[in-house]
Structure 1
Amino acid sequence: MNRKNFIIWQYRTKPNAIGTIRAIYKETDSTFQKIIQIADVLNIDTATGYALDLIGRHVGVYRVLPAVIAKNYFGWRDDVTSLPFGVGEFYRRGDALSSSVVLNDDDYRFFIRAKIAKNYQNGTLDNIVKSVQFVIGGYSNIIDSLDMSMNIIINSNKLSSLILYAISKMDILVRPVGVMYNYTVLDNDTPFGFAHDSDSYGFGIGKFVRLQHIEIGIN
């Protein structure tokens, strides 16, 4: 469509009027394109580096996680976590046992999404289940104990050190006020069961479930 059709008749043959209108349109179009670019820069899926830092600050998550990685010091070979002489640092009383970690963009994006999910919680059981499965994975589940506590079932294959830090130190899961979470780890993802349970496996494939508790309490 010709833009001149939107100009009133007495200005269509006036060069100065046409020039002014074109200049205004050019500046307006440039401003609009910059606004669109800002939306693209602050897109969680595509943002990187400093742009992702801006998003994180806005929702209350920072790229540096303090005291999340255990530090390895010099020790003897009986200690599998120790380092040999010349490699490991000697521990002195009062030294930190853990160090901070700087998240890469992918891990930082995960924490931002989890924080956004928590910021928009509504406290319903359905919302809690979706939040838990979003953060921990689809194999997780949650059981309401009906005593102001809930049991969260986590598949061990989906439990990384970052996820453990998020749920234990950052209280990042959706949680109603006053409700405590108890975390239980499922050691395998092929539990033995019978035919009426579609999520179970038969003899020779399924394994008897063993539960491992994580000593974390969030009040």
Structure 2
Amino acid sequence: MMTNTERMKDHLIRQFFDKPVISAEIDALGTELELLHQVYQDLKEKRWIDTGEGMQLDNIGTIVNRSRVIDNAVPLMFFGFQEQPNALTFDAGRFRQDDETWLTSTRLNDERYRKILWLKIFKDVSTATADDIIHALSVIFNATSISLEEVGNAKLFIGIGRRALPDDIYFMSSVNLIIKAGGVGIYAIESYDYDHFFGFQDQNNAKGFDSGCFADLLSGYGG
């Protein structure tokens, strides 16, 4: 594609070809036009979630009411016990002081922030169908396999086909973007290794006792 400078020089009549003064004037004007063209392109393309960067995404976040900073999303590492998230042993972890929090905030990079912005918009317009719930969970947990089961009275049992880490669990709670209908609760959430989970012969992709791994219930959820 020709630049503005090249197009202007291409339209010169023969007598003005290779004239240094005219060529310099066109070069200067062409540079300004290229800059102006780039500004218009940025206004057109970089105010969109998929193409925006940095401050552009922050401005979109202001419109949809979703900050790049997620509060209380990451558990810090202190001395603790095996069932506690991110706990360290005596030789590796220090004790948490009374005035210290055990959760800290995280600032999302552009790539992850785009997913959260789309998910916030998706939640705002969702009708809470099963497909909508599955989509939201797959984005939050970065999992390709999500299962739902109705249990009890208006309760959902959710399966995440990926081993969830403590950071994943607290991030899920902090962003508060799981989609569900009003009055519907979460009975339990379990995570499992989709490629190596223990199951029975009629279950797709299930493995036996010799190679299958049992699922884990996520802390904070359970009937």
Partner of 2:90: 79
Matched, 1:139 2:145: yes
Is the alpha carbon distance of 1:150 and 1:39 closer, same or farther for their aligned partners in structure 2, counting shifts above 3 Å?
farther
Q: Does 1:172 align with 2:177?
A: yes
Identify which of 29, 49, 67 aligns with 1:44.
49
Q: Name the amino acid aligned to 1:213.
A: L
Structure 2 CA distance for partners of 1:62 and 1:161, relative to 1, 3 Å: farther
CA deviations 1:140-194 (Å, max 9, x no partner) are: 221122511101101333x355542343233211110121122111145323556
Contact (CA 8 Å) 2:128, 2:180: kept in 1 or not?
A: yes
- Mapping of 1:1-219 within 5 angstroms? 34=40, 37-72=42-77, 78-79=89-90, 82=93, 91-136=96-141, 137-145=143-151, 147-157=153-163, 159-160=164-165, 163-181=168-186, 182-187=188-193, 189-192=195-198, 196-201=202-207, 206-207=211-212, 209-217=213-221
User: What is the identity, as a one-letter code, of the residue corresponding to 2:64?
Assistant: V
Matched residue type, 1:142: L
State the TM-score, normalizing by the size of structure 2: 0.64
Does the CA contact (< 8 Å) of 1:132 and 1:173 recur in 2?
yes
RMSD: 3.3
How many equivalent pairs are there?
Answer: 177
SS at match of 2:217: strand
What is the SS of the residue equivalent to 1:67? strand
Structure 1 distance, partners of 2:115, 2:165, is 13
Instruction: Point out where structure 1 has 5 or more consecutive residues left out of the alignment.
Output: 1-29, 84-89
